[in-house]
Amino acid sequence: MDLSSHQWNTDDADAASADFRRSEMNNLTKLFEIYGDGAVDQRGRYTAALDAFRALYGPGPVQIFRAPGRVNLIGEHTDYNHGYVMPAALDKDVLLLAHPRRDGEIHLANMEADFPSQAFRIEANIEPAPNGDWSNYARGAAQEAARTFAGLLHGFDGLVSSAPPLGVPRGAGVSSSSALTVVMAVALAHFAEWNPSPARMAQFCSDAEWYVGTRGGIMDQFIALLGQRDHALFLDCRPVDGDFRTETIPLPEEYRLLVVNSGVHHSNVRNEFNARVASCRAGVALLRREFPAITHLRDVESFGWTLLEPLLPEETTVATLRADGHDLGDLPNVAANTLLRVRACCRHVWSENRRVLAAVKAMRMGQIEQLGILLNEAHASARDNYRISVPELEILVEAASEIAGCVGARLTGAGWGGCIVALVHKDGVNEFQRRVPQIYREKSGRQAGVFLCQASPGAGMVGEFTV
Ligand code: NG1
């Protein structure tokens, strides 16, 4: 087996034991379960990570955990409005190799030299590393665990492997940050013998990401935990008695999801993101004058837009709302004079929720052309109503739509750069992979990375190894 080469070559007498062989075979089977044919490509990555772990922390047992990135098929900026989303888990993931320590400290190294090693103690108030430090996602998970879990949490020595192309691309809107948070949470829970439900765990991980200041929703954490091979996940982001409604939806067999990374990443995304959250909260505050019982935009989804529109201003500011007695809650980096485009933002969320439900129906009924139309409409709304597109994403979406067999394309993730996702008939995939980066280069002077989304299973422990 591929991974076994890592250990068959040792002189360790145990390595030849039947038990050891069996566990290696199990590991191989597990890799195929996770990555399908991609398991072969994972060999070098897993082997290198195991070698590096041994070099760092010495010989002994080590567990490998993984959590995937995601691509969102449809349902953008709806999750924090208690709306609907339909993401799929990528076969690109974050690996965490770990073995428990006797104290409550986490020592974390990274296979990539750009991410320096960090150590911190698991406690209810963990000092953040400087802004932008990779370990803040790990710190967020550990802090949230300390606040939430009543039992004993174990520290561990850990090593993260997440370098693309097999790892999750960073800053590309495919949730590398959530993958890191989730893999940390999965490891912490494993060592503490803590078994929260997936809904509880997703909520926990979402709260943990607030440590870095983003007021996002729960989509990324949910799909990182509940992904299934060759399936998308429909998720209703409205909790009911602490639980969430989910449904796995088979991806169309004759079609492929292609993800194209623009390579563009805007630094001010968090502030812009929180300003959109503020616009949605402003919408709720103002609609409450007419519908006092509502708490989220989701609550007005059954009303016609013509009824809602006149109740919402085109624009307002946090300061104006405050003066009128409306409190938008805690939103880091949203200044009192930030312009909130309330009407257009609410129009996006209201219509996007409807598109997700229509997309689920189209997928169930095999109406792929209809699904494509919905993806295109979702993109137009994200661009015109929510204003989260950038010129590079427009070039990519336009280039994608020129390819025969591409039925729909849209930006995916938070926006302001990152990736687009396109639904392409399998016969058009080669042409898509050849032409789209070419057009992008001609029009933007930039390099685009294209990859297939092979929907993979959600996070968990891959296996136990001896190094
Ligand atoms: P990305 O693209 O990973 O930044 C963010 C939010 C999601 C969701 C999308 C927009 C976080 C961790 N993720 O995702 O919850 O709101 O934007 O649909 O905040």
What is the distance between the alpha carbons of residues 379 and 381, in angstroms, rounded to a whole number?
5
Residue 24 is encoded by which pair of tokens?
């290696």
Q: Is 220 in the pocket of ligand 1 (CB under 6 A)?
A: yes
In this model, does residue 292 exceed pLDDT 80? yes
Nearest to 287, CA basis, from 316, 309, 319: 309
pLDDT tens digits for range 166-219 = 999 988 889 999 999 999 999 999 999 999 998 899 999 999 998 887 666 899
DSSP run (H or E) holding 18: helix 18-35
Instruction: Choose which residue among 170, 214, 220 to substitute to test ligand 1 binding: the one with the highest number of ligand atoms within 8 A of its C-beta.
Output: 220
End-to-end distance of the chain based on CA atoms, in angstroms? 16
pLDDT score, position 165: 93
pLDDT score, position 159: 98
Is 354 or 7 the better-scoring residue by pLDDT?
A: 354
Instruction: Choose which residue among 71, 79, 205, 353 to substitute to test ligand 1 binding: the one with the highest number of ligand atoms within 8 A of its C-beta.
Output: 79
Which residue, judged by its Cα, is nearest atom 9 of ligand 1?
414
Q: Count the alpha carbons within 13 Å of 136 in the hemisphere toward its beta carbon.
A: 14
Q: Count the alpha carbons within 13 Å of 169 in the hemisphere toward its beta carbon.
A: 23
Q: Is 173 in the pocket of ligand 1 (CB under 6 A)?
A: yes
pLDDT score, position 378: 98
Residue 220 CA to ligand 1 centre (angstroms) = 7
DSSP string, 199-246: HHHHHHHHHHHGGGT----SHHHHHHHH--TTEEEEEEEEEETTEEEE
Domain ranges of the chain: 3-251+457-466
Residue 393 CA to ligand 1 centre (angstroms) = 17
Please tell me the pTM assigned to this model: 0.90
Q: Is 411 in the pocket of ligand 1 (CB under 6 A)?
A: no
So what CATH class is 3-251+457-466? alpha beta
pLDDT score, position 10: 34
pLDDT tens digits for range 79-107 = 999 999 999 999 999 999 999 998 899 99
- Told to judge if 220 belongs to the known catalytic residues of this protein, a careful annotator would answer yes
Q: Is 69 in the pocket of ligand 1 (CB under 6 A)?
A: no
Residue 294 CA to ligand 1 centre (angstroms) = 23
Q: Is 217 in the pocket of ligand 1 (CB under 6 A)?
A: yes
Percent of the chain beyond pLDDT 70? 93
Q: Is 414 in the pocket of ligand 1 (CB under 6 A)?
A: yes
Q: Is 175 in the pocket of ligand 1 (CB under 6 A)?
A: yes
Residue 349 CA to ligand 1 centre (angstroms) = 14
For residues 117-122, average pLDDT: 97
Helix 269-287 vs helix 342-364: crossing angle, to nearest 10: 90
For residues 359-383, average pLDDT: 98
Residue 12 is encoded by which pair of tokens?
């360790």
In this model, does residue 3 exceed pLDDT 50? no
Nearest to 414, CA basis, from 77, 25, 17, 67: 77
